[in-house]
Each structure stands twice: as C-alpha cells, then as structure tokens.
Chain A
C-alpha cells in the first residue's frame, strides 16, 4: 500500500511569493490533516478534512494559508504571500473513518514538505 505522499519535498521561495504544497493521502482515507513544524518549535496541528469538508481549521495561523481538498482525494495547502516565519516543515497525515474509538489517534504521516522563505 502506498503511503502518504507529499510534494515538493523542498521549496525555496522569496518573501511575498506564493507556494502550493500537495498531499496525496492513502487511498480510501477520508481523514486528512495538515501539521507543521517551524524552526525550533513543536509540531503543530493546522487543519483537518473529512473527505472534502473542513472539520477543524483552528490551527491555521492566518488568512495567508488556504487549504483545499476538492473531490475528497488529494489536498493542497497554499501560502500566499509567504512570509519569513512560514519557513518550516509541513506534514500531511491521513487516517480512515470508522476505525473505532482506539483508532482516532493513529495517523499515517508523509515525509513532509520543507519550505524555506528567503
């Protein structure tokens, strides 16, 4: 089974530019999450999709960040315009629905997309 795939693995952009990160979850996983780690900080939750719907976007830092999941398959996270403090590693994770109570905390993560804003 293919894992969670993220693209690009590394992106270097100038401040003010736009970057779009893509995540392909495990096939059939209705739950899709975005997390990020900025320099020196802990991994933080950004948002959670259930199929194409945003279930929880409480972690999105500001309106420069836009996440979409059209069709309930892959997801994109766009940062526009990018700022220096957006530099970090963006992780995507997925999990299936209906795994029971104990499965709620078991996520499969991708390798991450490293974003460097100069």
Chain B
C-alpha cells in the first residue's frame, strides 16, 4: 500500500476553514484516497473518499490534483467538535469489498474558541 505523509498536528479556531494535505507520491493506478476521523475513545469513522478531482459531501471536501500524488481534506467552518485525529489512507479498490487499511500517524486537529 502507498505510504502517506501528513502533518502531525494542526491548530485552528471555530468558524475557520481547515485544510489538511496528505502526500502519497507512490500512489498506484488502482488506489483510492480515503480519509477517516477518530475521536478519543472511539474507532475511526469514514469521512470521504475520492479517486481524482474533487469530491464533496455533507462533512468535507476532498481535492485531488491531476497527478494524484497528494490530496487535501477541507473542513468548512470547523467547530470544537471537529477536534479529532484525521487519517489519510490510500488503498486499492476492488470488487467484493474488503481491504487491509494502513493507518499512518494521522493529523491531530485541535479547534479552539
């Protein structure tokens, strides 16, 4: 699985937009880019996934440039409850489901008033 690199931590204030960038220089053709969020004492929670260009859902947006060697998770107008660890993962998509996810260190986002 492709190795990912993301900042260890980020600080923000309520109401701001937060962008977390992840590098994955060795991403393979069949790899998807997936982001998970984890709160203390909980398991990781799927946020968003993309293959190329831009993906948006009710929680976040994911921007992927044409070369796919990086991706940016964008959280609009964060609140205190967005304080969590955010993981960027890349992994091959294949039919039938079931993939061995590789978690890195993640980015600890801290949102303050």
Complex interface residues of chain B between 90 and 113 (CB less than 8 A to chain A)? 91-105
Residue of A nearest to B42 (CB): A111
What does DSSP make chain A's interface, helix, strand, loop or mixed? mixed
Residue of B nearest to A109 (CB): B43
Residue of B nearest to A10 (CB): B41
Query: B69: CB under 8 A from chain A?
Result: no
Query: A72: CB under 8 A from chain B?
Result: no
Are A45 and B94 CB-contacts (below 8 A) given A108-B46, A109-B45?
A: no
Selected from B46, B92, B95, B103, the residue in CB contact (under 8 A) with A106 is B46
Residue of B nearest to A59 (CB): B100
Chain A: interface residue total (CB-CB under 8 A): 35
Q: Are B34 and A106 in contact, CB atoms less than 8 angstroms apart?
A: yes
Return chain A residues, CB-CB under 8 Å to B94: 101, 104
Q: Are A105 and B42 in contact, CB atoms less than 8 angstroms apart?
A: no
What does DSSP make chain B's interface, helix, strand, loop or mixed? loop
Complex interface residues of chain B between 56 and 106 (CB less than 8 A to chain A)? 89, 91-105
The smallest C-beta distance from B3 to any residue of chain A, in angstroms, reads 12
Q: Are A56 and B103 in contact, CB atoms less than 8 angstroms apart?
A: no
Are A110 and B43 CB-contacts (below 8 A) given A45-B102, A105-B34?
A: yes
Query: A95: CB under 8 A from chain B?
Result: yes
The smallest C-beta distance from A62 to any residue of chain B, in angstroms, reads 19
Q: Are A45 and B95 in contact, CB atoms less than 8 angstroms apart?
A: no
Selected from A4, A42, A97, the residue in CB contact (under 8 A) with B97 is A97
Q: List 18 A-B contacts (CB under 8 A).
A: A33-B98, A35-B103, A42-B105, A43-B103, A56-B100, A58-B100, A59-B100, A93-B43, A95-B97, A95-B98, A96-B97, A100-B93, A102-B51, A104-B99, A105-B49, A107-B46, A107-B101, A112-B43
Q: Which residues of A contact B (CB under 8 A)?
A: 4, 30-31, 33, 35, 42-45, 48, 50, 55-56, 58-59, 91, 93, 95-112
Q: Which residues of B contact A (CB under 8 A)?
A: 32, 34, 41-46, 49, 51, 89, 91-105
